[in-house]
Amino acid sequence: MQQPEHSSRMARPGLRVIIIGLGAAAAFFLSLPLGRYHIPLSDVAAALSAAISPGVELIPDAVQTVLFNIRLPRILTGMLVGAVLSASGAVYQGMFRNPLVSPDILGASAGAGFGAAFAIWCSWGIAGIQVSAFICGLTAVLSAWGLSTRMRHEPMLALVLSGILIGTLFSAGTAAVKYIADPLDKLPAITFWLMGSLAASTRRDALILAAAAAAGLVPLLALRWRLNVLSLGDEEAQALGLETGKLRFGVIICATLMTTVSVSIGGMIGWVGLIVPHLARMIVGPNYGVLLPASALLGGAYLLVVDDLARMVAAVETPLGILTALIGVPFFLCLLKYNTRDWQ
């Protein structure tokens, strides 16, 4: 009766989210044995079960140390960074009704990058880095948004343009901080950190990120239905009964909080927040009730796999930001080529 190609595209989105979740879980377990110090899957399983219920099995100390102090924190941090960047990318895209924005394009990453570099230069502690990254990231997003509403230009383009402008300003600020930083100790710290790496992830990093992800994702998930309505645009959302001003501001705070905490821990990892939400939308559709979890799970799995590659491909660790860009650019070109229909 009906054209099946239309209805099949969004069939059973809930089931699709569960499948993505299973994929993410599989990526998690398969990443545990990987690395320079190879741990057989059986040892991993034994160590994990011993950690949950202390038993009689003896696991070598080296395995314990590598698994719990190095590999597990890194895997969790990687998944969380990917999840929050993708989730906030999905939220920004709906919020600004613009499939071309992402944390990097809106200037959130550049702002957070500047804030963190400045904090490193000032030798502030980890808390100082977080706060400074958040404040600068939020300033960047809000100024990009404010600037775009004052540009007499097609709104989709105006936001991208103003995001690039604001991002450039903050990047210049970062460059200035690097220029005056001590070349022997601060400069390399800032530079390596900006390239994006999960190599030094600790348990504390994973915990901070988990807290930020919860603080950002829980309210966003609670507001999932309103996010759908908000993505129709201000006037339509208001006519449907939403107070858009407060809602949009709160949503931007949540997304920016997640982005900046992720930047202050994992560095500037580009493109994840742009391509993963697209991919997720192609799989489950634009309804935030499923899009948000799908983006987070897919982003977590994606960044974990990329980080596995970063650990494995070369004798020396490859910075993550380089890999995500190398994968992201051709992928995005494909999206532009085959998926423009949805943007009409």
Partner 1 sequence: MKLELRDICCGYDTSDVVQGVTLSIGPGDIACLLGPNGSGKTTLFKAMLGLMPLHKGSVLLDGQDIRRWDRRDIAQKLGYIPQHQMRPFPFTVFDMVLMGRTSHIGACSSPGRSDRMAAMEALAALHMQHLEKRIFTELSGGERQLVLIARALAQQPGILIMDEPTASLDFGNQLLVLDHIRELAHGGLSVIMSTHLPNHAFLFGTRVLLLKKGHILSAGTPEETVNRENMRSLYNVDVEIAQMQLQDSREIRVCIPLSHCSCSQRRNKQSQKEK
- Chain positions contacting partner 1, by CB under 8 A: 1-2, 6-7, 9-10, 94, 97-99, 156, 222-226, 228-229, 231-233, 235-243, 281, 285-287, 289, 341-344
Print the SS3 string covering 139-171: HHHHHHHHHHHHCCCCHHHHHHHHHHHHHHHHH
Residue nearer to partner 1 on the CB measure, 70 or 282: 282
Shortest Å, Cβ 19 to partner 1: 20
* Range 241-256 burial, b when 16+ CB lie within 10 A, else e: ebebeebbeebbbbbb
Residue nearer to partner 1 on the CB measure, 92 or 118: 92
Residue nearer to partner 1 on the CB measure, 195 or 242: 242
Shortest Å, Cβ 99 to partner 1: 5
Q: Which among 271, 269, 125 has a CA at the least distance from the CA of 208? A: 125
CB-CB neighbours of 321 under 10 Å: 21
Residue nearer to partner 1 on the CB measure, 23 or 285: 285
CB-CB neighbours of 313 under 10 Å: 11
Shortest Å, Cβ 286 to partner 1: 4
Tokens of 256: 């920016």
How far apart CA 181 and CA 75 sit, in angstroms, is 31
Q: Which among 6, 83, 16 has a CA at the least distance from the CA of 290? A: 16
Contact 66, 37 (CB under 8 A): yes
SS3 category, 233? coil
Residue nearer to partner 1 on the CB measure, 12 or 203: 12
Residue nearer to partner 1 on the CB measure, 74 or 278: 278
CA atoms 204, 206, 207, 212: torsion sign: positive
Shortest Å, Cβ 239 to partner 1: 4
How far apart CA 84 and CA 216 sit, in angstroms, is 8
Shortest Å, Cβ 267 to partner 1: 30
Shortest Å, Cβ 44 to partner 1: 39
Residue 241 DSSP one-character state: T
Shortest Å, Cβ 48 to partner 1: 36
Residue nearer to partner 1 on the CB measure, 29 or 249: 249
